[in-house]
Amino acid sequence: MPELPEVEVTRLSLVERLRGAQIAAVRIGKPLRWPLGCAPESLVGHRVHELTRRGKYLWFALDAPGALNSGAGGLLMHLGMSGSLNFSAQHAPPGPWDHFDLATDRGLLRLTDPRRFGAVVWSSAVDEGAAGKLLARLGVEPFETGFTGALLHERLRGRKVAIKTALLAGDIVVGVGNIYASEALFLAGIDPRTRSSRLGAARCERLATAITGALARAVQAGGSTLRDFRDTHGASGAFQLEAGVYGREGLPCKHCGTLVRRIVQAQRSTYFCPQCQRR
């Protein structure tokens, strides 16, 4: 489910209530992608100092009991393909897909994840241990000033993979998942099959702008795809209406009327307009 916009919307909706919340109990359901890495009871008494995001990962920075900002490690969370995070009623029994509960004095935070590609991992610091290892290979944040067309140009040079695949890899720029990779390339007028190294400075500039724009608009829209998932209305929803090409195979391009095509790249669907997007 979650690409950067959905993760950021999740973070924004939780951060105020969670900041300062004290952990009262931790419940683990079925195993997620990786083990927690600490005894769940050892987290009891800690407070959530801050909730931040890196790429599609959430970082719950923890304070030791009684101390303020003592840096008592934290929890790194990934929502995988199907994860969602919400406050539940304090004593609501866990459903079959609820695999991680953080009971706090501010409410019960619950991770629901049917496919269990998600993970919650304890780490002594963001840049150490399990978290450090997972975050080490990540590229720049699309909303930070370091993300420019020039950087894209520099990092794509010498890469032979298709641009769509390069964007998804996450080691150049983070947060662009399967939907927004297609959308950004559509906005930039670039054929997703284009060899990365063939993109010149001008198109890299356009692509950087398109990526930032698409992600920012999606955050503003409230991560509509996330809402779809929670309401179990399937794939149709506000984002589908906004999407230029994603999920629109066989429908007319909104710019030129040419039928949108679907292809498979690196075992993932890619959607594009063969007329508006050029190699």
Partner DNA sequence: ATGGGTACCTGTCTGC
Partner DNA sequence: TGCAGACAGGTACCCA
Active site residues: 2-3, 56, 268
Cβ distance to DNA smaller for residue 21 or 175? 175
What residues contact 164, with CB distance under 8 A and at least 6 apart?
Answer: 181, 182, 185, 192, 193, 265, 270
The least CB distance from residue 44 to DNA, in Å, is 28
For 166, the enclosing helix (H) or strand (E) is: helix 163-169
Place of tokens 């969370």: 77
Cβ distance to DNA smaller for residue 26 or 218? 218
Residue 39, SS3 per DSSP: coil
The least CB distance from residue 43 to DNA, in Å, is 23
The least CB distance from residue 128 to DNA, in Å, is 16
The torsion angles phi and psi of 15, rounded to 5 degrees, stand at -60, -40
Residues forming contacts to DNA in the complex (CB under 7 A) are: 1-3, 6, 30, 33, 55-57, 78, 80-82, 96-97, 114-117, 134, 137, 158-161, 165-166, 168, 170, 177-179, 196, 223, 225-226, 228-229, 232, 234-235, 239, 266-269
Cβ distance to DNA smaller for residue 51 or 72? 51
The least CB distance from residue 137 to DNA, in Å, is 6
3-state helix, strand, coil split of the chain in percent (to 5) is: 30, 25, 45
Give CA 247 to chain center in angstroms.
Answer: 19
For 179, the enclosing helix (H) or strand (E) is: helix 178-188
Cβ distance to DNA smaller for residue 205 or 242? 242
